[in-house]
Every structure is written in structure tokens, then in C-alpha cells.
Structure 1
């Protein structure tokens, strides 16, 4: 296998690694391109004391750390303040905020072992919590917990001591435990309950069946809509939002199922005056055994191509 083939073999994992560090698919892909450029330029100095994979991840981590010196952490609306309760009083889109972005699952490839492990560490709640960590602490957590590198190897990469790496990891674990939901809250229901929840949500949302949606949402459900800073917490307020913002009538909208961050997701298309359906948002759902615990709706049509989806559709049935 030549170097180019080796690079291609590791691309999916590198993009996922950089996404965990940066919280943005666009930034992650740029970081991987920079990683490959640096690797090509430095291949003569590669002494094969480690594998090509380890070498690439070392370069990628340093690229991300350099990038994070000049950028703000990526956030979700609930990290910025208290929830709202008036759907007619939404704050305007905050385009100056560096928002967290979703990660399309199809980019992970098809290796079952890799996919299962990667998806757990890519869940939106986990990645959002990671963004609160200082960059070097974030790197330690990802290298030790996700890539399972030895502490000594991480210390060499970060030019520090093994003791400092272990201390940083303990602090990162404690902060992550404080910020992210408890592990049991992240466990999805088994099939066919999961399938039933998704089918019911899609049908109820498309038809604006608020009674059905009420039965699907948990009591403490959250609804967030970046780049809109206003977010809603609790079934009653979320239903009030949906009642105000979903237009009535048949065939007003269509949901196309996809997946992001190891979680079920839907792409929402709204019917326009031209009778075509236009990209509106990517909605990533957090499912629990009690129902739908959160919906993070990314109101960013520019994300659709990354999910392999068109910006517009001629009808509900055809792409």
C-alpha cells in the first residue's frame, strides 16, 4: 500500500477526530486537508518509529490545537443562557456566534467496530460538553479516552509529562461528567420502540399533530435552533413553539430520515410558493426510553449537501 492509499484509509477517522476537537465538520475537513499537506511535505522525515496512522493523528492534533488558538469554542443555544417561553419573541439569528455543527454518520464508513465506538464519542451532548474544555485538555481526553493512546505517547505529542497528562485527564473527566447528561439518559430504546418513535414523530410533525407530539416528547424535553439563540425547555413550551411555527394544512413540509452524531435525525423541507420543497433544517433527536428528550434543529440549509441531500425537492416523494 502506497502513502496515498494509507492516507485515504484513515481519512474518515481523521475527520471524526478533528470534528471532536473543533465541533465543526467544515473546520474538520479543512484540518484534515492541512494534515495531509503537512504529511506530504514531511514524509521524508518520517522515521517509521510509529505507524502511519499514529503519525497522521499526531499531525492532525497539532493542526487542531493551532486552529483553536485563534477561534472561539462552538456552542449550542442552551450554553448561552436560560430558555425562552414565548415563540413570538425569538431572538434574531446570531450569525456572529460560532455554533456547534452536526456530523453526518455516513462519513464514518462501514467498519462496524469503528462505527459503534465513534458514534458514542460523537454524540452531540458529548461533543458540546467537550467544547467547554481548554484545547489541550480536550486533546488529552480524546487521545486517551477515544483513541486509547498511552499517557506517555500523549505526553510526547503535547511536550509535557505523563503526570501532567494524567492530571489533565482527571480534570477533563470531571468537567465532562458535570456538563453532559448521565449515561443512562443517553441510552436509546431498543427496536422496535425506537422505530415506532421515529415513525410517529415524522408523521405527527409533517401533519402538525400536536396531540401525537405531546405523547412523544418527554416532560423535560428541549428544543434548540441554532443560529437562533432562543431555546425552549419542557413539553408545554416546546409544544407552544411548534403550534406557533408549524403552518397548518396537508403537504406543507416533509421530513427525510438521516442520521448524525450516532443519533437519528431528519432533514426538514418546507414547501415554497413555487410548489417545490426547500431545505430548512437538520433536526437531530435524542431518544430515551421515556421518549424524545431533545431536538437540536440546525437551521442551516447549507448543511444538506454534507448529508448527501439536495437543497430542493420537486415533491414529497422524489428528491
Structure 2
């Protein structure tokens, strides 16, 4: 049997493998879905592998693969509605009547400690037209030059600049980046997450209430029901905490935010992602999906405690 030439495959894998994490995060920001992002990266690698022999290095491998990934994601969102959080599709509730919607309705959580993965930002991204979303991410998150983005998107440079301007204006309207956000590696974030976990595990409703801001929100996916205000959130927590020991939580970092990976009476439950500010917990987003427990547990980027961000480079 003749030997099989695996050179091109090996060369492609060597060039593409270091980019997988970046491609996955980019696809997630575009799609709002962890599992769809993984599918998109798989499709990107398949297309890249098939086209590797014809790759003439007129651009870098990074640019080439991001172009493929962006097109795969844009094709995926073309025929479906946008994903959202409950607070993005309706008013807050005053009772806990469940109104469960299909999984494809919702943004999914994603393991990682980067600030550009925060749930509020991902939700805001989903309000943009897909092409604007892609331009914004390629320019502002991945820092590709406008000329490269124009080529990747089959647009003129002027159209790229116009799309970027409109996307920035839209994100400013939805106020996706509050200035008082606390990084998960900070002592304040660790203290608030510890207090949240301890209070839930010991069924201490007053302990939970004490760490909430007055304007705190509570979102309970896959239900579209959500609550606003310490009083309404506390009532839901009081009904949920059960008895001491019913809940067990492992600390993690999800969407660049402190999070708790949750088990109820020993069974996987899901994950709670906290929006931590300087003066308390401003929001809790609960993803009731048992499959997330193991997926997040084995994701290295979700490990707790998170690494502190590197110090800023010295100015010349």
C-alpha cells in the first residue's frame, strides 16, 4: 500500500491549533451560543483543512481562519432569530409563574475570564444586525485593520467604517458596559461570591438579601420570567433555598464573571452567573441546565480563583 502523505494535514494542524480558543470565543460572541460556537469552529477547521493546499499565504493564517469562521457564523444566524436574556424580551414579573421557552431562544453561558465575554455585552451584541456585529468584533475585539476586515467581509473600507460607527452607537444606547463592574479576580468579587454560595448552601435568605443591591435582577432561564428589585428577588430566593445542605456550589468564572456551578440534592442543576459591582450583586442569571455542570467543570478557563490581570505596560 502506498504511503499516505500527511504533510499538508500536519502543517494545517500546526498552524491552526493555537488559534482554536480565539476562534471559539469569536464564534460565541457572534452566535451567543456555546454549542453553536463549537460547531462553527469544527466547520471552520474542516473548511480550512480542505482548502489548505490552495492557501497562498496572501494573508496570515489567523486572518484566513477568522474570515472562514465569520462566514460560517453569519450563515448560521441568517435564518434564525436572535438569542437573548429574559430581561431583553419582556418586563419583570411579580410572581414566579414559569413561562419556559425553547433553548434556542436564549444566550448560553461560556467559560472564560475575559471582560469581552460578559453576559450583558453578549446580549447587547445580539441586538446588532449580524454584519455589524461581525465588523465590531473583528475591529474592536480582535483588532484587525479596517482593510483586512473589508476583505474578510467583502465590503469596502468605507462600509466597514460606517458599520462600525453604527454598531458603537447602538451599544452605547443599551449601556452594555457599566463603569462599576468588578473583575472576578478582585477581593470584592471573591467576597461577594463566597457570601452568595455560603448563604445558599446554608439556606440563609437574609444572607442572600444582604449582598444584593436594591435594584438587583434575577433571571431564571429557560423561563422568560425575571425579577427586578431586592424585595422581589428575595422572595424568589426564599422559596428556592430549601433546607441547609440541599444546594452545593463550586466557584467558577463564566462569561468573565464570578459564577457558581450548582448541584441540588446531589444532582447537577446548572450555573448561576453573578453581575458583581462595587456596592453588591447587581444581578444573578441562573441557567437551569444540568449538562452545564460537567461542561464548565472541565473547562480550564473557568477555574477558580481566576488569575489576576497582568499589570499595565509602563508608559514611555
TM-score by shorter chain over 0.5: yes
Could you say if the C-alpha distance between residues 56 and 97 of structure 1 is closer, same or farther in structure 2, counting changes exceeding 3 Å?
closer
Trace 1:189-200 onto structure 2 (pairs within 5 A).
191-200=186-195
Residue aligning to 1:206: 201
Aligned partners of 1:188 and 1:289 also within 8 Å: no
Other-structure match for 1:63: 72
One of 124, 134, 140 as aligned partner of 2:119: 124
How many residue pairs match? The answer is 290
Cα gap change, 1:191/1:150 in structure 2, threshold over 3 Å: closer, same or farther? closer
| 1:261 corresponds to 2:255 | yes
Question: How far, CA to CA, are the matches of 1:122 and 1:188 in structure 2?
Answer: 12
The answer for unaligned runs of 5 or more in structure 2 is 1-9, 299-316
Equivalent position of 1:286 in the other structure: 275
Q: Distance in 1 between matches of 2:15 and 2:173?
A: 39
Q: 1:221, 1:233 within 8 Å by CA — same for their partners in 2?
A: yes
User: Aligned ranges for residues 224-303 of structure 1 at < 5 Å?
Assistant: 224-247=219-242, 249-271=243-265, 277-303=266-292
Task: Quote the Cα distance in structure 2 between the aligned partners of 1:46 and 1:81.
Answer: 47
Give the SS at the match of 1:229: coil
Q: Is the 8 A contact 1:217 1:292 kept in 2?
A: yes
CA distance in structure 2 between the aligned counterparts of 1:7 and 1:233, rounded to whole angstroms: 45
Alpha-carbon separation, structure 1, partners of 2:154 and 2:220: 40
Q: Structure 2: how far apart are the matches of 1:202 and 1:189? A: 15
Query: Residues 216 and 291 of structure 1 are in contact (CA less than 8 Å); yes or no, is this contact kept in structure 2?
Result: yes
Compute the displacement of 1:210 (Å): 1.6
**Contact map agreement 1:286 1:293 (CA 8 A) in 2:** yes
The alpha carbon displacement at 1:288 in A equals 0.5
TM-score by length of 1: 0.87
Query: CA-to-partner distance for each residue in 1:93-142, whole Å, 9 max, x for gaps?
Result: 2126521001112xxxxxxxxx6xxx121111101100000000000000
Written as runs of structure 1 = structure 2, the 5 A alignment for 1:41-120 is 41-87=50-96, 90-95=97-102, 97-105=104-112, 119-120=114-115
Helix, strand or coil at the partner of 1:243: helix
Shift, 1:306, TM fit: 1.7
Q: Distance in 1 between matches of 2:72 and 2:133?
A: 14
Contact persistence 1:189–1:288 (CA under 8 A): no
Instruction: Report the TM-score, using the length of structure 2 for normalisation.
Output: 0.88
Cα drift, residue 212 of structure 1: 1.4
Q: Alignment RMSD, CA only?
A: 1.7
Post-superposition, which runs of at least 4 consecutive aligned residues in structure 1 deviate over 6 A? none
2:156 maps to 161
Check whether the contact 2:33–2:109 (CA below 8 A) recurs between aligned residues. Answer: yes
Unmatched 5+ stretches in structure 1:
106-114, 272-276, 310-319
Asked if the contact 1:84–1:232 (Cα under 8 Å) also holds between the matched residues in 2, the reply is yes
Worse overlay, 218-227 or 192-201 = 192-201
Contact kept in structure 2, 1:23 and 1:127, CA below 8 Å: yes
